[in-house]
Amino acid sequence: MLTMLRSFLFALLLLPVAVQGQQRIELADGSSLSVFITEPSESANNPPALLVLMGGGPGNLSITQDTARWLGSGFAQRGWLVAAPVSPNNRSFRGAENNGKIELLIDALKQSGRVDEGKVLLAGVSNGGMSALEIASGNASKYYGVVAVPALFRRAAKSKVLEGLPVYLRIGGEDQLGWAEQLDETVNNLASAGAKVDAQVLSGAPHMFRMDWTTLEPWLETIR
């Protein structure tokens, strides 16, 4: 999967994109994260709303930078300040410890005054999409929603941990990992957790695919 991800991202680097700045952001627990920041082209809000974008695979520096370029720039063009953090341990942001790093990053960015103090949008690709859903499960009311392109949500929720949370989920119909075959299970699990799911299999698309902004952009407008 990692080789497939790198090949896809390399092809997309040929597209014109906004420039991202890599920064080291100190967290309240004494640790820090390397983060690629993409400033919005323009924003109806001042300061802009925050989107935290997590890359696929291990979420390492190269994958995160490339994800910030091809996907983060699209969100920035639509008014979001995009923060794409690099995993501190090559495990994306899966698990409670790494989930907590994202929550601390959000607090640090809000305290800096660079972003709006209200809700935050989470987004992720593959492992990053699953990280986003895990993080939102901790306190869904703090988030506008989750853009998971793609992701799975395997656990059947015992409570409404995603109550009312909008989730935009897309999986390629020719996904090499077989994720399209698990779409119904994922949607059912998300719905049982209380999420409002907008899900679709993209006909002929592989595991990694370009964003369909004709459907994602209207979804973004509804959650705001």
d(CA 106, CA 117): 9
User: What are the backbone dihedrals phi and psi of residue 210, each rounded to the nearest 5 degrees, phi first?
Assistant: -75, 150
- Nearest-Å Rg of the Cα atoms of the chain is 16
Say how far apart CA 15 and CA 90 lie, in whole Å.
27
Given a cut of 60, whether residue 90 has pLDDT beyond it is: yes
pTM: 0.90
Can you tell me the distance from the alpha carbon of 199 to that of 99, in angstroms, rounded to the nearest whole number?
24
Provide the pLDDT for residue 20.
62
pLDDT at 7 over 50: no
pLDDT in tens, 8-61: 444 444 344 444 689 999 999 999 999 999 999 876 668 999 999 999 999 999
Q: What is the 3-state secondary structure (H, E, C) of the chain?
A: CHHHHHHHHHHHCCCCCCCCEEEEEECCCCCEEEEEEECCCCCCCCCCCEEEEECCCCCCHHHHHHHHHHHHHHHHCCCCEEEEECCCCCECECHHHHHHHHHHHHHHHHHCCCCCCCCEEEEECCHHHHHHHHHHHHCHHHEEEEEECCCCCCCCCCCCCCCCCEEEEEEECCCCCCHHHHHHHHHHHHHHCCCEEEEEEECCCCCCCCCCHHHHHHHHHHHC
- pLDDT for the residue 16: 41
List, in sequence order, every residue forming a beta bridge with 200; answer none if it has no partner. 170
136: nearest Cα among 112, 91, 168, 175: 168
What mean pLDDT is reported for the chain? Answer: 90
d(CA 47, CA 154): 36
Pairing of strands 166-172, 50-54: unpaired
pLDDT value for 44: 63
Per-residue pLDDT at 104 exceeds 80: yes
pLDDT for position 155? 76
**Alpha-carbon distance 215 to 194, whole Å?**
22
- pLDDT value at residue 17: 43
Length of the chain: 224
Condensed to tens digits (0 to 9), the pLDDT of residues 176-214 reads 999 999 999 999 999 999 999 999 999 999 999 999 999
Write the CB contacts of 120 (distance below 8 Å, at least 6 apart in sequence). Answer: 49, 50, 51, 52, 106, 142, 143, 144
**What pLDDT is attached to residue 11?**
42
* Structure confidence at residue 64 as a pLDDT band (50, 70, 90): very high
Facing residues of 36 across strands? 22, 84
- pLDDT mean over 108-134: 97
pLDDT of residue 21: 85
Instruction: State the average pLDDT over residues 136-163.
Output: 92
CATH class of 2-223: alpha beta
Q: For residue 109, name the pLDDT band (cuts at 50, 70, 90).
A: very high
Residue 154 pLDDT exceeds 90: no
Residues of the chain with pLDDT > 90, as a percent, come to 84
The full set of domain ranges for the chain reads 2-223
